[in-house]
Amino acid sequence: MNQHGETSPPLARSTLDRSAHRRTDPQWLAHAWAGARVLVLDVEAGGRALVRTDSSVPALVLVEADGLPPALAAGAMFLGVEPDGVPVFCVHTALATVPDTRPAHLRDIGHLLSDRDAGLFTTALALTNWHLRHLYHPITGESTRADEAGWSRVDRTGERVWPRTDPAMIVLVHDGVDGVDGRCLLGNNATWPSAEGRRRFSCLAGYVEPGESAEAAVLREVHEEVGVPVSDIAYAGSQAWPFPGSLMLGFLATADADHPVRTDPVEIAQARWFSRQEIGAALADRPVDVGGARLLLPPPSSIALFLIHRWLDGHC
């Protein structure tokens, strides 16, 4: 554990037994639903769920299955079994009005949730987003329906598809120097607008291409985006990023800070080296100037900030 209390990326935590062998057992699923806990997601609102506001740490609101309309059972997704033996499902419907609760997005609260709630919310949202984007079979073109308790989709001919996750690499490039003078290389994506005088900078990232290893993708993406060669590529961890459906493979790598930075303007609007002192100041909400704007770092639920903390604390 580092000084920020992070032992793993924020959305890489879970206590759930997925019990995959139950997904094709209709009799067991029907019996399980009768006594299940259910996470409700409002897909019309971007996949929000209710969290409690009457405690210092937000907690997911799960409801009893027997308190929901029976029609929801047909589309319920089986997430797994909790350590106490109770099955958990997810359904899609409008959120109820419940005292001392509020709707929340995973992106905003994932880092604050318990291991149990982080795993439930991440799995439910990733599975939900996959369903929303696979209404038709990619080979037959036929419309599909959910099957196997939400873990596959099938068309009228019996052709089936299963959930897919897009692998992507993300890397914190640093100069290998210890202490406050050590620097890391961050970029401002060309699609990120400045807001309220702030400009976000984050780790460099990109999708792993067909036939490519994650490490090769690190070399290629950093070269394409900022023109800097890297070495000493070290894996640091991974987490799902269900916006809509990526698996972020996190790395640290070293580079020569004196090497010219040449950005691809289509991808990166600006890239520059930041000292540990500057990053520490930004994390403490003290102003760091980036071309007339104030430096904004990645959100707490991202693996990008996890990597920045790893480097900041000297765990490279």
Instruction: Let me know if residue 57 belongs to a domain.
Output: yes
Q: What percent of the chain has pLDDT over 90?
A: 93
Q: How many domains does the chain have?
A: 2
Q: Which two tokens stand for residue 273?
A: 């080296």
Instruction: Indicate the pTM of the whole model.
Output: 0.94
Confidence of residue 193 (pLDDT cuts 50, 70, 90): confident
Asked if the model's pLDDT at residue 138 lies above 70, the reply is yes
**201 and 302, same structural domain?**
yes
**CATH code where residue 270 lies:** 3.90.79.10
Confidence of residue 5 (pLDDT cuts 50, 70, 90): low
Residue 109 DSSP class: H
Q: What is the DSSP string of 186-230?
A: EEEETT---BTTEEE-B-EEEEPPTT--HHHHHHHHHHHHH----
CA distances from residue 8 to 1, 58, 112, 302 in whole angstroms, order as listed: 8, 19, 13, 11
Return the pLDDT at 56: 84
Residue pLDDT, tens place only, 216-231: 999 999 999 999 999 9
Helix, strand or coil for residue 241?
A: strand
CA distances from residue 115 to 5, 188, 284, 316 in whole angstroms, order as listed: 13, 31, 25, 25
**178 and 123, same structural domain?**
no
Q: Which helix (H) or strand (E) holds 198?
A: strand 198-200
**249 and 180, same structural domain?**
yes
**Can you tell me the mean pLDDT for 247-270?**
97
Confidence of residue 314 (pLDDT cuts 50, 70, 90): confident
Instruction: Let me know if residue 147 belongs to a domain.
Output: no
Asked if the model's pLDDT at residue 2 lies above 80, the reply is no
- Structure-model confidence comparison of residues 272 and 6, the more confident one: 272
Residue pLDDT, tens place only, 154-179: 999 999 999 999 999 999 999 999 99
Asked if the model's pLDDT at residue 1 lies above 70, the reply is no
**170 and 123, same structural domain?**
no
In whole angstroms, give the CA distance from residue 48 to residue 43.
7
Instruction: Let me know if residue 152 belongs to a domain.
Output: no
Asked which of 133, 157, 178 is the last residue of a domain, the reply is 133
Asked if the model's pLDDT at residue 6 lies above 70, the reply is no
What is the average pLDDT score of the chain? 95
In whole angstroms, give the CA distance from residue 223 to residue 245.
25
Residue pLDDT, tens place only, 50-63: 999 988 889 999 99
**128 and 194, same structural domain?**
no
**Can you tell me the mean pLDDT for 77-88?**
98
Q: 141-145, 191-195, 276-280 — which is least confidently predicted?
A: 191-195
In whole angstroms, give the CA distance from residue 217 to residue 248.
12
Confidence of residue 7 (pLDDT cuts 50, 70, 90): confident
**187 and 124, same structural domain?**
no
The residue range of the domain holding 41 is: 20-133
Q: What are phi and psi of 11, to 5 degrees?
A: -105, 20
- Structure-model confidence comparison of residues 298 and 195, the more confident one: 298
Instruction: Let me know if residue 301 belongs to a domain.
Output: yes
**177 and 277, same structural domain?**
yes
CA nearest to 172, candidates 4, 316, 308: 308
Return the pLDDT at 55: 81
**CATH code where residue 126 lies:** 3.90.79
Query: Cβ neighbours of residue 84 under 8 Å, at least 6 residues apart?
Result: none
Return the pLDDT at 177: 96
**Can you tell me the mean pLDDT for 19-32?**
98
